[in-house]
Amino acid sequence: MAYTAVTGSDVSIPSIPLSEILPWAIFGGLLLLLAIYFVGAEQGATAVFKGMYVHEFVHDGRHLLGFPCH
């Protein structure tokens, strides 16, 4: 199989306006903060859900990320 070299004039990188990226970046950041909360703080006095279901579901992830839990 023969490969051909691509010159700089053959490639055009589209520009994406900040107004299109910003809502997705905010949405991703909020999802990340929510995930960090559930992995790192969902137990005890700050628990949103009663019981240990969320804690047990993310237990191995807590240890992997360095959060102590017991």
pTM tops 0.75, yes or no = no
> CB under 8 Å, gap of 24 or more: what pairs does 54-58 form?
none
Instruction: State residue 56's pLDDT score.
Output: 79
- Spatial separation of the C-alpha atoms in residues 59 and 11, rounded to whole Å: 47
Instruction: Write out pLDDT tens, residues 7-56.
Output: 656 778 888 888 999 999 999 999 999 888 877 777 767 777 777 777 77
